[in-house]
Chain A
Amino acid sequence: MKKKLILLLALVLTIVTGFTTLSSTTANAATDNSLTKVEKKGTLVMGTSPDYPPYEFQATVHGKSKIVGMDVAVGKKIAKDMGVKLVVKSMSFDSLLVALQTGKVDMVISGMNPTPARKKNVDFTHTYYQGGYSIVINKSDKGIYKDKDSFVGKTIGAQTGSTMYNESKKQTSGTTVKGMTSVSDLILALQSHKIQGVAMEKPSAQAYVANNKELAAIPSKFDLSASDTSASVAFAKGSDALVAKANKSVDQIKNQNLVNKNYLPAAGKYLKTNTVNTSMLHYWKAFLTGIEYTLIITVCSVFFGFILGVILALARMGQGGVVRTGLRWLATAYVEFIRGTPMMVQVMFVYFGLGLIVNLPALTSGIIAISLNSGAYVAEYIRGGINSVDDGQTEAARSLGMSSGATMRFVVLPQALKNIWPSLGNEFITLIKDSSIVSIIGVSELIFQSNIVRSDTYRGVAPIAVIMVLYFVLTFTASRILNYFERRMQHD
């Protein structure tokens, strides 16, 4: 047991060090040709976390969901000045810098403050916007709270990983600071009185207050240096050429006051059109896309997971010979390892880690990760199923001259499958639900789409209720279909 553990740890260490060396070499290699590389590609990929209006948010434009906001306008200007096309990629705020370091995106514009800690890992341009902080509260509490110091014994919320989060922790005493990934969740928590205030940047606070009559904004009175309230564009460490080029655009934006004059008003307009119709029916297309992707991910993962599961199960059952023993050991290690690590980590590892070697789209990464995960579980079901088939079946088939492969395929596996069908069905239904994990890398499945609808409509609960019903309809239908096939297989 202990030996196994040490071996496993060694395996993890090799993988991790392997990837770190790889990532540092790619970063160094990119030093001087960073700008030429972008120009050659013809695209500048911008990473952003679109739940932070008016900086960046999802809006429905001509019936299609689109990322808009002042940061997108900044990104467009930078791309235009470089003579390339802007591509916007959305992901959670926490993932942005990793995505930058692993080359998933060329730059990050997401209302990000150039803090000293971040500067260690990435390079920033000059600031393009100087903001400040507000605290959003429920309007009914307006008399109670004045600024950050009024929350003694209460809870303030802030976006995890953001400057507000860190400063709220540092600069309040006796106040609990609660972190959540998305601002829409924080607003929901505020409205359901789980927390009493949400710290966020002034323009965002203004947008929320303007769009939700229940909310009010108060000044934060945080003691902040300029870098804490400013927003900059982040590039990968060492891409001096890119930063220099982008700085020219940023300086223009600053000198001509483009943010206040053009970008913010334009973003405000989206916010208005966005919140005109907040009925869930209006967003059926967004939910449909979510269902579509959830099903694509689930069906593909079940298919590949099953194939992988069969291969792993056979490898685990191989006996005799050096090759077979080696394969058996490998398969066993794989199954143990996958079952012993969280699926969320596996998804991030495939997207960001494997992404260092081959640049995989988020959907493909998600399907790969979930298939790899599912395969490990399916392998165990199949192994159990194969073991449950009487040895006499194999002997009868072999005595008829069938090869071991043919025996497995035509005699043992069909019976094994029948025995484990209920378990496989469960796995399928679990995957429908678990596929939601890929929302963290920005695949537009149901959870991701519901988050978009939530930040679009400023309605916290309704989209959650909708996807809950949708998930149930999906899983219930799936289990009916599986039961039907199970009954059809029962003839003995």
Chain B
Amino acid sequence: MTKPIIEVKNLAKSFGKNDVLKDITEQVNPGQVIVVIGPSGGGKSTFLRCLNLLETPNSGEVDFDGQNLTTLDTKKVNELREQMGMVFQGFNLFPNMTVLENIKLAPMKVKGMDDAAATKRAHELLDQVNLDDHADAFPSSLSGGQAQRVAIARALAMDPKVMLFDEPTSALDPEMVGEVLNVMQELANQGMTMVVVTHEMGFAKSVADRVWFMADGYIQENNTPDEFFSNPQTDRAKDFLSKILM
């Protein structure tokens, strides 16, 4: 049996009196693609942000590569974050830097990579997301789909072991969703471990190894996409699917 790369044990997180995550215990194996779906406000973003400690859990454990993140000091946490790339709904590109500089910043400042090596690597990644001709553009001149692909390339520049996606296509015009999903599918094909929060059911069906259905602070169902979509177990999931698929 393979060792899981991410193990979540009894994770709980609340904001004041709002118990957003109540008790979550799940694991992700290397190479797996997990799609997290569920109603808005159900805690999906919070869960993802707990995985790389952008949010500090109130209790429970997040183990990454066998290390319990919640007990590590700040420096170690920074080091572990390098290995978990994250892509946001709003891209969050650095507006004052060119596309190339966006990608080069962290490898140079965090890993101490020299300029030539970082530039070379950035061009490779831009090639991978089909945007090498935009290397010197500023983010404001990019379309949403292009910006999100740059954001993916930027996260990949740190050579992460896991990629976390938080609704990467939700802010995009419909005609741009495809180009981003293609890049993600490509990544999955290459064997990248991914945890993806999305409402793109087509992507979930074709790419995911497991679907986690999250609502009311719990993972209500953990199943294969086929099983989940054809035969949901809980009323909560049935209700959600009927609304989303119509």
Pairwise interchain contact A399-B105, C-beta atoms closer than 8 A: no
Smallest Cβ distance from A392 to chain B, in angstroms? Answer: 4
Pairwise interchain contact B54-A395, C-beta atoms closer than 8 A: yes
- Give me 10 other A-B pairs in contact (C-beta within 8 A), A402-B109, A411-B94, A492-B139 excluded: A393-B92, A395-B92, A396-B92, A400-B85, A400-B105, A401-B110, A410-B109, A415-B94, A415-B95, A491-B140
Output the nearest chain A residue to B82 by Cβ-Cβ distance.
Answer: A401
Pairwise interchain contact A399-B155, C-beta atoms closer than 8 A: yes
Smallest Cβ distance from A211 to chain B, in angstroms? Answer: 61
Smallest Cβ distance from B154 to chain A, in angstroms? Answer: 7
Instruction: Chain A residues near B106: list those with CB within 8 A.
Output: 397, 400-402
**Which residue in A403, A489, A491 is a CB contact (below 8 Å) of B74?**
A403
Could you list 15 examples of A-B contacts with CB < 8 Å?
A395-B86, A395-B88, A396-B94, A399-B81, A399-B86, A400-B85, A400-B154, A401-B78, A401-B79, A401-B81, A401-B83, A401-B158, A406-B110, A410-B109, A492-B95
Interface size, chain B (Cβ < 8 Å): 32
Q: How far is the CA of A30 from the CA of B241 in the complex (A)?
A: 90
**Which residue in A390, A402, A403, A492 is a CB contact (below 8 Å) of B140?**
A492
Which A residues are within 8 Å of any B CB, using their own CB?
A: 390, 392-393, 395-404, 406, 410-411, 414-415, 418, 489, 491-492
Instruction: Chain B residues near A411: list those with CB within 8 A.
Output: 94, 105
The A contact surface, by secondary structure, is helix
**Which residue in A396, A397, A418, A492 is a CB contact (below 8 Å) of B138?**
A492
Q: How far is the CA of A393 from the CA of B151 in the complex (A)?
A: 12
Q: How far is the CA of A429 from the CA of B138 in the complex (A)?
A: 32
Q: How far is the CA of A443 from the CA of B139 in the complex (A)?
A: 49
Instruction: Chain A residues near B84: list those with CB within 8 A.
Output: 399
Q: How far is the CA of A91 from the CA of B158 in the complex (A)?
A: 62
Smallest Cβ distance from A345 to chain B, in angstroms? Answer: 40
Q: How far is the CA of A491 from the CA of B94 in the complex (A)?
A: 12
Pairwise interchain contact B138-A400, C-beta atoms closer than 8 A: no
Instruction: Chain B residues near A403: list those with CB within 8 A.
Output: 74-75, 78
Q: Does B52 contact A (CB under 8 A)?
A: yes
Output the nearest chain A residue to B79 by Cβ-Cβ distance.
Answer: A401
Instruction: Chain B residues near A398: list those with CB within 8 A.
Output: 54, 78, 81
Q: How far is the CA of A202 from the CA of B77 in the complex (A)?
A: 81
Smallest Cβ distance from B76 to chain A, in angstroms? Answer: 11
Q: How far is the CA of A379 from the CA of B243 in the complex (A)?
A: 51
**Which residue in B85, B96, B138 is a CB contact (below 8 Å) of A399?**
B85
Output the nearest chain A residue to B81 by Cβ-Cβ distance.
Answer: A401
Q: Does B90 contact A (CB under 8 A)?
A: yes
Q: How far is the CA of A395 from the CA of B84 in the complex (A)?
A: 13
Pairwise interchain contact B88-A400, C-beta atoms closer than 8 A: no
Nearest 3 interchain pairs by C-beta: A401-B82, A396-B92, A492-B140
Output the nearest chain B residue to A418 by Cβ-Cβ distance.
Answer: B96
Q: How far is the CA of A400 from the CA of B82 in the complex (A)?
A: 5
Output the nearest chain B residue to A396 by Cβ-Cβ distance.
Answer: B92
Instruction: Chain B residues near A400: list those with CB within 8 A.
Output: 81-82, 85, 105-106, 110, 154-155, 158
Smallest Cβ distance from B60 to chain A, in angstroms? Answer: 21
Q: How far is the CA of A400 from the CA of B79 in the complex (A)?
A: 9
B residues 79-119 in Cβ contact with A at 8 Å: 79-86, 88, 90, 92-96, 105-106, 109-110
Q: How far is the CA of A411 from the CA of B105 in the complex (A)?
A: 9
Instruction: Chain B residues near A491: list those with CB within 8 A.
Output: 96, 138, 140
Output the nearest chain A residue to B139 by Cβ-Cβ distance.
Answer: A492
Smallest Cβ distance from A377 to chain B, in angstroms? Answer: 24
Pairwise interchain contact B88-A392, C-beta atoms closer than 8 A: yes
Instruction: Chain A residues near B85: list those with CB within 8 A.
Output: 399-400
Output the nearest chain A residue to B154 by Cβ-Cβ distance.
Answer: A400
Instruction: Chain A residues near B88: list those with CB within 8 A.
Output: 392, 395-396
